[in-house]
Structure 1
Amino acid sequence: MFLQVQVREEDQPAFRFPWRRPGDEGQTVAYQMMVENFGAASSPTSCTFVLRRTAEDNPGYSDIAHKVTENFYVDNYLDSFDDAASAIDCCRRMGELLKKGGFELTHLMTSSREVWQAFPAEKRAQPELNVDLDNLPIERTLGLLWHGETDTFTFSFNKTDGTETKRSILAAVSSVFDPMGFLACVTLISKILLQDILRYGRYDGEADKLKIGWDDRLPESLLKRWYTFAGELNALQALRVVRSLRPLDFDPALTTYQLHTFCDASTRGYGAVVYLRAQCRSSTAVSLVTARAKVAPVRQQTIPRLELMGAILGYRLGIRTKRTLKVNIDSVTWWTDSSTVLHWLRTEATLYSAFVANGKEEIREGSNSSERRHLPGAQNPADDGSRGIYATELNADQRWFQGSSFLREHPSKWPINNGQLPEGPDLEEMHPVHIRAVTAAESRIDRLIETSTSLTALERSVAEMDGFSEKPTVARL
């Protein structure tokens, strides 16, 4: 893609470089690139601009122009269709549009053999593949492994042998690429371990002496936890996550969709998970769309505050998911097992601390009370994302992927919305209001009122009073 975009002549000197053949001892020759190259930080932006400009300059393809903006990631065109005929037509028209800008759409990869056969071999990802005998290939898409034959996502991991230091474990944890959050409940365990490693030894006022260096071998207690986690990662290679959010036997014209977001928190982390509930006639299917899990702050927070942080995370994740999905969402439901958070969201009180007030107002602005519901903690799938589960416990039939079982039932059988007011110190997030009452002799007040010519003058006179007979009293509400 980069080599197909020409650089303006006045900008080409920015890509000048000296060149001399290997082994020559003569003078170097100065060359300059006439097209975008892979070493310039500006190349992706410049090429994306040209790609979008191609769509704008060809109004005859206005029906697919929006796909250039929404479905391209640099030079990768990713799209999904309801049937093979629409996929073939759209891809052919997309190829014609891009060709007008000097781009060539190649390296086709699909889960449909009908679409695969509709394009010549040189346009496919593997031209030598026999579509009648061989399985469709595996393609790496934005870091995820996608099996075209089964239309599922799979995962692979780097070897973790020899990771015994803080530096190597951080590198191993960061190498787990999971942009959709399918493995958020598993990777949370490694994040908690990494947090414990980073703050290990910071106590008794001797942090400098007890702190572990980046290349020091970790204590056995921490290494044992790491070996347990890393040794089970290979179990995830057998995991298959179905790409399609709608079952193939569901009629697209008769299918309705609902978005359900669950959030939860524990002392070590908080998380949120979003599910899409598809219903066609009398059949219902629930699919995990995306999830996030984060470790709790190092500075200790109360459980209600962590639950609010989980609710904010779930709200933001749900809003982004609704905006990204290209289906009509009939309703959105926000689930939490925290009665305290629900009470904060329902009350109109404005005397909460800044942390609670800002969080609850952000959620209230984008949702209404009828969309926020309570459920028992035992039925909350986000509990896995707030506490973490080991890789050997995760499979496609686990509730993390399937969602709460009641989502497959009629809404009348869903948990009853709990309106109980929480008990205990959870509501002490409200700031006290201080009211100062100043008393003085009635005669002096009356005299000031009689002699003052205006309210401003009266206020000034009261402010200048001294020698009160009684001390100011403070009332706390």
Structure 2
Amino acid sequence: MTSHVFGNSPSPAIASYGLLKTVEHADQDVKNFVQHNFYVDDGLISLPNESDAISLMKRTQSTMKLEGQIRLHKITSNKQAVMDAFDVSDHGEQLKEIDSDDMIHRSLGLCWRLKDDTFVFTVPTEENPFTRRGLLSTVNSLFDPLGFISPIIISGKILLRECTPEGVDWDEPLPVNNLQKWKEWQSSLHCLSDIAIPRMMSHTSVSSAQTAEVHIFSDASEKAIAASAYIKTVSDGQTSVRFIMGRSKLAPLNGHTIPRLELCGAVLATELAEIISVQLGIPLQTMRFYTDSRVVLGYIGNRTRRFYTYVSNRVDRILRISNANQWNFISSEKNPADSCTRRNTNVINIMRLPWITGPQWLCDVTEMKPTQFPLVEPDSDREVRPIDRPMKMD
């Protein structure tokens, strides 16, 4: 071949390499923009003010055109001043006036409403049959990569599991005993169109805040495992706590005790921490973790006993990302991740759940002292290896 073919497996890597080469000798902020804020050919970035955004975009446009004959266009912003700084031919396709209520831009699958700078959700309208395939199609039609509506999605997954007997075929009609519950959950999805999540995760730009702390909570039940992360920012005497992202997944059906599930939730919390650290540039060592399981805290802080393989492997994973002093106990009533491990079928109430509103009690917390948590009844815990005793010789 004498040219690269669009759609080949290495095409995204080649495209990214080409973009990086065009800004090899550019200003440092332009290089950082292209290196860290582009996904193939889509660049997304948030800046403290309009002048910074205009300057960065114009210099990036100029560099790409000069060095690689690449046209950077389809520009979209929630600020009219930014849009006015560029020719109309460089604007995003099919954009309406900035004051239009219908102005929604899709960015990597997320629906971004520019007028009020919020993320909104599209409501699935297709009626699927009451089969395993139909139910799975409905649940998977909800695109939510940041976990805003995880309490709703995980409820649908739990219902899907309950509605599907073992061994049922994909297109076989399901038993009708759970049909009413499924219809109630499905009909409640129409309220998603009324949900709007502010794009900004703080009352001020995180980069200009005096302090920015990440607090991550985990929880588990027999039905689900969840973790949610929040950022606490302080600027000009004002403190705010906002949702960053969350994750949830179904709990395994068999063979797992509640302590094991809670430990899986703690692992999920550290996975969120890794993502946030890379994306926001906040060191892992400064983050705080919370769980309502003293057993898990005992596992993480243990230095005297050995565990069997399941617990040992997961504690190792947790301690590779965090240390025992970063973990804290939180009661279930104050744990926002608890909202996701209980079934929530009412979409209307999701904006009032602590999962979205965040733990506002953090605004009043100035400092949390490290606490040591001992193992809980280690001699009767099946996950703790017994202490080897010396053999008696006759």
Contact 1:258 1:278 in 2 (8 A): yes
Matches within 5 A, 1:211-250: 211-248=167-204
Match of 2:69 in 1: 102
Aligned pair partner of 1:190 in 125, 149, 156: 156
Match of 1:268 in 2: 223
Alpha-carbon distance, 1:282 to partner: 2.5
Contact 1:256 1:330 in 2 (8 A): no
Contact 1:263 1:273 in 2 (8 A): yes
Match of 1:21 in 2: none
Aligned pair partner of 1:432 in 368, 386, 390: 386
TM-score of the two chains, using structure 2 as the length reference: 0.91
Alpha-carbon distance, 1:218 to partner: 0.8
Contact 2:131 2:173 in 1 (8 A): yes
Alpha-carbon distance, 1:385 to partner: 1.7
Alpha-carbon distance, 1:344 to partner: 1.1
Alpha-carbon distance, 1:291 to partner: 0.4
**Runs (5+) with no aligned partner, structure 1:** 1-10, 13-33, 203-210, 441-477
Distance 1:305 1:214 in 2: 31
Q: Structure 1 136/426 Cα, relative in aligned 2: closer, same or farther at 3 Å?
A: farther
Matches within 5 A, 1:342-381: 342-381=297-336
Query: Are 2:73 and 1:117 equivalent residues in the alignment?
Result: no
Q: Structure 1 141/298 Cα, relative in aligned 2: closer, same or farther at 3 Å?
A: same
Q: Structure 1 312/328 Cα, relative in aligned 2: closer, same or farther at 3 Å?
A: closer
Distance 2:313 2:172 in 1: 42
Match of 1:384 in 2: 339
Q: Structure 1 123/80 Cα, relative in aligned 2: closer, same or farther at 3 Å?
A: same
Q: Structure 1 79/269 Cα, relative in aligned 2: closer, same or farther at 3 Å?
A: same
Alpha-carbon distance, 1:383 to partner: 0.5
Alpha-carbon distance, 1:152 to partner: 0.5
Alpha-carbon distance, 1:350 to partner: 4.2
For residue 23 of structure 2, give the secondary structure of its aligned residue in structure 1. Answer: helix
Contact 2:285 2:322 in 1 (8 A): no
Percent of paired sites with the same residue:
26
- Measured against aligned partners, the alpha-carbon deviations of 1:2-46 in whole angstroms (never above 9, x if no partner) come to xxxxxxxxx14xxxxxxxxxxxxxxxxxxxxx55334x3333232
- How many residues in Structure 1 have an aligned counterpart in Structure 2? 393
Alignment-mate amino acid for residue 80 of structure 2: R
Alignment-mate amino acid for residue 92 of structure 1: K
Query: Are 2:123 and 1:157 equivalent residues in the alignment?
Result: yes
Alpha-carbon distance, 1:48 to partner: 2.1
Distance 1:107 1:371 in 2: 43
Contact 1:373 1:418 in 2 (8 A): no
Match of 2:106 in 1: 140
Aligned pair partner of 2:251 in 275, 296, 299: 296
- Measured against aligned partners, the alpha-carbon deviations of 1:392-439 in whole angstroms (never above 9, x if no partner) come to 343434311121231121336x79968476359873311235557374
- Measured against aligned partners, the alpha-carbon deviations of 1:447-470 in whole angstroms (never above 9, x if no partner) come to xxxxxxxxxxxxxxxxxxxxxxxx
Q: Structure 1 136/392 Cα, relative in aligned 2: closer, same or farther at 3 Å?
A: closer
Match of 1:404 in 2: 359
Q: Structure 1 289/161 Cα, relative in aligned 2: closer, same or farther at 3 Å?
A: same
Distance 1:159 1:400 in 2: 26
Match of 1:334 in 2: 289
Alpha-carbon distance, 1:322 to partner: 1.8
Distance 1:213 1:68 in 2: 47
For residue 216 of structure 1, give the secondary structure of its aligned residue in structure 2. Answer: coil
Alpha-carbon distance, 1:156 to partner: 0.7
- Measured against aligned partners, the alpha-carbon deviations of 1:249-275 in whole angstroms (never above 9, x if no partner) come to x79545310000000010111100000
Matches within 5 A, 1:51-70: 51-56=19-24, 59-70=25-36
**Runs (5+) with no aligned partner, structure 2:** none
For residue 87 of structure 1, give the secondary structure of its aligned residue in structure 2. Answer: helix
Distance 1:124 1:369 in 2: 50
Match of 2:6 in 1: 37
Q: Structure 1 252/42 Cα, relative in aligned 2: closer, same or farther at 3 Å?
A: closer
- Measured against aligned partners, the alpha-carbon deviations of 1:112-143 in whole angstroms (never above 9, x if no partner) come to 11111111111111577455x64682101111
For residue 300 of structure 1, give the secondary structure of its aligned residue in structure 2. Answer: coil
Which structure ranks higher in relative contact order (CA pairs < 8 Å, sequence separation ≥ 6)?
2
| RMSD, matched Cα | 2.6
Distance 1:147 1:282 in 2: 30
Distance 1:160 1:417 in 2: 52
Alignment-mate amino acid for residue 141 of structure 2: S
Alignment-mate amino acid for residue 222 of structure 1: N
Q: Structure 1 354/63 Cα, relative in aligned 2: closer, same or farther at 3 Å?
A: same
Query: Are 2:125 and 1:170 equivalent residues in the alignment?
Result: no
Alpha-carbon distance, 1:366 to partner: 2.7
Alignment-mate amino acid for residue 340 of structure 1: V
Query: Are 2:278 and 1:312 equivalent residues in the alignment?
Result: no
For residue 216 of structure 2, give the secondary structure of its aligned residue in structure 1. Answer: strand
- Measured against aligned partners, the alpha-carbon deviations of 1:309-362 in whole angstroms (never above 9, x if no partner) come to 000110111122122114678931101110101111111134211111121122
Match of 1:85 in 2: 51
Which portions of structure 1, spanning 4 or more consecutive aligned residues, are displaced by more than 6 angstroms?
none
TM-score of the two chains, using structure 1 as the length reference: 0.76
For residue 37 of structure 1, give the secondary structure of its aligned residue in structure 2. Answer: coil
Alpha-carbon distance, 1:146 to partner: 0.1
Alignment-mate amino acid for residue 89 of structure 2: E
Q: Structure 1 329/370 Cα, relative in aligned 2: closer, same or farther at 3 Å?
A: closer
Distance 1:438 1:149 in 2: 79
Contact 2:48 2:208 in 1 (8 A): no
For residue 422 of structure 1, give the secondary structure of its aligned residue in structure 2. Answer: coil
Distance 1:153 1:417 in 2: 38
Distance 1:420 1:394 in 2: 38
Alignment-mate amino acid for residue 382 of structure 2: E
Alpha-carbon distance, 1:53 to partner: 2.1
For residue 243 of structure 2, give the secondary structure of its aligned residue in structure 1. Answer: strand
Contact 1:145 1:155 in 2 (8 A): yes
Q: Structure 1 360/42 Cα, relative in aligned 2: closer, same or farther at 3 Å?
A: closer
